Structure 1
Amino acid sequence: MLLVVAATAASLTLSAPAAVETVVPPPPPPVPAEPPTAEELAARIVPAVVTLTATDGWTGVAGTGIVLTPDGLVLTNHHVVSGADEITAISAATGLTYDVAVNGYDRAHDIAVVQLGSAQDLPVATLADAPGPGVGSSVTAFGNSDGGGVVVAAPGTIVATGRNVLVRDSVDGSRHRLTGMLQSDAAIRPGDSGGPLVDAFGAVVGVNTAGAVGEDPADAPTAPEAYAVPISAAMEIVEQIRSGAGGGTVHVGPTPLLGVTVTTVREGGEDRGAEVLWVSFDSPAEAAGLDIGDVITSFDGNPVASHGDLETLLMARSPGDTVEIGWRDKTGAPQTATIAVESGPPR
């Protein structure tokens, strides 16, 4: 500080000292933490992962799950558990095998929430905060690659965000569109579905869902393509399921079963009902008298113009509910019956 001096013709006067202001320099920015090595990253992530096996009769699907709570609430893909009569999980942390119950799912966004029976004190995953990773960010996908029962890491980089992609189920060949996906060049494989996509520090940024792979390495794309549901979008579905509030594309609780496979009938360029392609043995549909070639036109008092209408109306019901179903038989005659919806596998 300087002392201020005032001069006059007659005398020299020294003023009182001014107040002294102490200026504290800002602290230096923190030194960025060093990302863990690949081995350290795996040590953080693998204990919070489970490998899943979902079976339907003689067929089975391998997948992966992300542990959200110590008592075994797990996030995975819908397509991993779809159609399964029995699901089991093995914890990478404990090596124990658990029976799995499906709490709910969102088929349109390929997300499912399952519960491991009798689980306790499991390590849980660390979830990344929004916003998600940007293009060029380093990521690593972890999963039950090729169903080998061992959690494998696949490093990569975010290539794009907000991608819409048409995917095909490798089991039943069905196709549907997923929106808002993270795209990376991690080389994920069948069995990785439902596993965590993590950032450089091990926070989960996405749920591995789809990849472009070939049966023969020579058929594989020149650069791997992998797609993941952003963790923020996945957790919105998780919280809706945990609240018990089904609705929209989210189904909560046991899956209702009618016992038919249907397709949409189009006549004159318009949807005219859901034609029955298959009737399951000893199902509510068989008990009602539905047969192959019949066309379902109403369900629970609501018109059915397509297989999508029937699916939406059915999924709004619960096992044990009684509903009236209407259809046209193969002669075109209208038929109705009252049925009790049963419990079936997730779909």
Structure 2
Amino acid sequence: MPSQPLPVCFNHSVHIREIACQTCHGSASESVSALLRNEVGLRFTPIYGEDGGDSVPLALRSPMQKSLPPRWWSDLLSFIQPLVSADWGTVRRPVFLTSSNFGIDALYGISSERDVSYAPWATPHGCLAFLKKELGWGDNVTILSHACVSAQLGLYQAAQSIHQDFADEALVLSFDYVGPFVAAGFHSLKILNGQMPAPYQAQEFGSIGIGDGMAYAILDKQDKAPRITAQALYNEMYHFTSNAPDASGFTKTILSIQQALESDNYWIKGHGTGTLEAGRFEAETTNKLLPRHPLVSWKGSIGHTLGSCALVELALALAAHEQGEIPGTVATTGECLAPNVQKDSFAAKDFDSTLFLSNAFGGAHGAMVVSYV
């Protein structure tokens, strides 16, 4: 295990100029309104969609079915119309494309239909080729995929490209849609099961829900709010899927970025998928090291949007601050794993920054501080 995380990167002049997302509830503002109403977007759905299978909690934007182009394609194109520009992907305007799955669910179409027409959609490079052709992007596009920290990595690379003056502005785009290949994979691990997720709740068994999600952010170098003021990354390298049992990865990541929390008026947007071990590690570590700061997760409503969750939930947090009310941890009603878990909504005006945490298979961690002043 690495003894220390990477040094924290301070980016006080990296400004989030534009950001948007879509979840099962709709746009960022629509999703925040649904979260404030404690609406759960997850529905029990067969893991193989039209082909049946065990029912698990999924938060979908459209029925899960085999199709060409894939069901996410037209939805994504409609969402990213504001990004149609030949200037993206050029030397000073790089694109960072992130996802944990990209078009991997096309593999299910290949195997079940014996149709090689699905093949061009089945890889990150294939998906990028379709996007470049449709949007007129240049070749300065970086693909990043590392499980649930994928969007954190994209935001990290984009912010650093601006901070180091390698770019004037940068685009981060992320999308993850649920399909049978992904749903069956999580189901085989028994963390996607017949139980609805309740992030950070103390219970006998844990569970997750997964959902469709897409988001983009445009960053530039302006000293305006909201700003990405600090970022940290750490990978435990302990195991392919599990965290170190002493929670050292969570501790080292938070300690590394604690110095960047200049203000004491911040809340914590946790990862909070609903699994017990990682949920306990995150809740207990934040409560120990960052006491009195509310910890929330929204995955009990919108599902875990996988590699895109950091960017999707960043868009939701910014929209919530604009609306003036931060949603609490939806779908969690019982005793929690630590007292800092916030189940009810709270006023945004009491906070001037947010700590965003992401955690992934194998003990990969990302942390980011965003300031609103």
- Give the alignment's TM-score, normalised by structure 2: 0.26
The answer to which structure, 1 or 2, has the higher relative contact order (CA under 8 A, 6+ apart) is 2
- Give the alignment's TM-score, normalised by structure 1: 0.27
Q: Which has the higher helix share?
A: 2
**Could you say which structure has the larger radius of gyration?**
1
